Structure formats: structure tokens, C-alpha cells
Amino acid sequence: MRYAVAVAEERNFTRAAAKCHVVQSALSHQIKALEHELGVSLFARTSRRVDLTEAGAAFIPAARSALDAADRAASAAASATGEITGGLSIGVIPTVTALDLSAVLGNLHRRHPRVRTSLRTGGSRDFLDELRTGDLDAAILGLPATVTPTGTEHIVLAEERHVAVLGPGHRLGGRRRLRLSELAGETFVDFPQGSPGREQSDLAFAAAGLGRTVAFEVMVIGMILDLVAQDLAVALLPPAIVPPDLEVRTVPVTGGPTRTEYLAWSDFNPSPAALAFVDLARSRLGARSRVREGREGGEA
């Protein structure tokens, strides 16, 4: 089944064999044996193309579930002896500011070296769907302050208010604070329309009864900041995203967008690896909070 899932994902026997660390002839033989046992063809093959048959399209989701259940069972058995194993799939938005994810994953690897971690970036809504279906174990989300994740367990990492990010020559760059209405006539760079990263700003302008022009739709933070630095557009972003040495100016905005950053994980039988990751993230947040409190106390 694992070989069949790999072929379905790669749409190529050679790549699937490499992914499974076997020679192609062995993988092809096992696929044929599985098809013979099932009495159906799972794949339509030509010299250039591999596609799922109707039977294959029905088989692969159930095969994935069976493999996930087998991995989870093995992981649960190992964790009973104090050893955590198995896969851990994590989704992360491009604008994480509240958690040092690399440090948490490094700590997880040192404590539980047999956990196989995979990480990918994407959008919060897609991640929520995948958490509910079990395709992701955990995710870091960024959502408008009025939206709370449902169908998952979650903790709040941070609540942030966006700032205006202005180019070095912008006429409003010297202000100490701006009203949202003062930005309505500007040309904006923002995330694509409909994305959660864009939603916070769209909601703020809609609530104020204001329109705006988004001329640049970009998914990469670095490009957003580069366009602002060239005085081509302005942006609204969480302040922690903006490097202090970049030649742009940040100004607080009254009535500006707000977002909440969450760590969310499946609320249905989470794996030992997922729970270990969440525990380490909580510890990291607690340590950061204690450091901040200590500094604030010292300054007082």
C-alpha cells in the first residue's frame, strides 16, 4: 500500500521508487502483486504518463488512512515505553512572529530523534481543513481577531495590531501615528485577495467604510518589503515581520488591522509526536514570557 500511495503522489514509478528507497523493478513488482490480489488495476500506465484508474482513485484515500493508522499504532506502542516515533506534519504561515519554530523543532529532534518531521508553508484556511481531516498534525495560523479556529485544539501565541510600512521617501513616514482613513488613497501591496493574510486588512477597511487600491498582490514577505522600500506601495503588516535594519518606516495605525496567531492541532486522537511538539512549544512560550517579565521587572 505504501508503494501505491507513493506512485499516486508522484505520478511516476521512478520517482516513487526513489521516495520509497527501493529499485523501480521491485516497486513495480509489488504494485502488480497488489493489483492482482485486489483484482483491479490501480494505475493506467503509458511510457510517459501514470494516472489513477477509477478503482485506484477509490483505493488510495483508504490506503492512506490505513497507513496512517498503522503508523499511529506503532507510535502509540513505542510511546508507552517512553519513546516517541512516527510522523509529524506541520503547516506554517509565512508570517510567523510569536514562536521560534526552528528552536522548537530542534529541541524536538534532540529529545525524540525517531520522529519524522515535515514542514510546509501555506494559508490558514487550508491548514484548518487539513487539521480537521487528519492530513496535518499541527499548524501555526494567523487569523483576524474576530475569527477563532473551530474543530481543533489550539492556544493563542500572540495578538498583534498591524502597522503601516512606508518607504523611506513617503510623505507620512515622519508621523507618530496615522488614522486608517489617511491611508485609504495610497497604493498598497498585500497578499492575494481571499487569503487569510489579506483578510485582516480588508476587514479593517470595510469596517471603517473605506476602500483602497491593492496594485501588487504578493505571497512573499521579502518582495512586499522590497516594493515598499522602493516607494512603489505601502503595506500593513505585523511589526515583528519588519527587520529593524530595513530602509522602511513603520507607523502605528488607529483602527488598523489586528490578527491573532495560533498554534492549532487535531482534536481527534492527536499523535504522541504532535502532543510532544505542542508541549515543547508551550515550554518555549513560557520561557519567553518569563524572560520578558524579568526584563520588565528589572526596568521598573
Determine the average pLDDT of the residues in 80-99: 84
Q: What percent of the chain has pLDDT over 90?
A: 48
Domain assignment present for 158? no
CB atoms within 10 A of CB 21: 6
Q: Side chain identity at 48, as an amino acid letter? A: R
Domain of residue 147 covers 84-153+263-300
Is pTM beyond 0.85? Reply is no
Domain assignment present for 167? yes
- Highest averaged pLDDT of the listed ranges 58-67, 96-105, 223-232, 284-293: 223-232
State how beta strands 138-144 and 213-217 pair: unpaired
C-alpha cell at 53: 484508474
CATH code: domain of residue 291: 3.40.190.10
Residue 286's pLDDT is what? Answer: 74
Domain assignment present for 56? yes
Residue 79's pLDDT is what? Answer: 55
Domain total in the chain: 3
**pLDDT category of residue 80 using cuts at 50, 70 and 90:** low
Both 179 and 131 in one domain: the answer is no
**pLDDT category of residue 215 using cuts at 50, 70 and 90:** very high
Both 234 and 107 in one domain: the answer is no
The secondary structure of residue 172, as a DSSP letter, is: T
d(Cα 103, Cα 86) in Å, to the nearest integer?
20
Residue 49's pLDDT is what? Answer: 85
Both 96 and 173 in one domain: the answer is no
pLDDT tens string 250-293? 999 999 999 999 999 988 888 889 999 999 999 988 755 443 33
Residue 74's pLDDT is what? Answer: 63
Bigger pLDDT: 9 vs 184: 184
d(Cα 11, Cα 51) in Å, to the nearest integer?
6
d(Cα 147, Cα 290) in Å, to the nearest integer?
28
Domain assignment present for 281? yes
Both 138 and 98 in one domain: the answer is yes
Determine the average pLDDT of the residues in 77-93: 78
d(Cα 215, Cα 224) in Å, to the nearest integer?
12
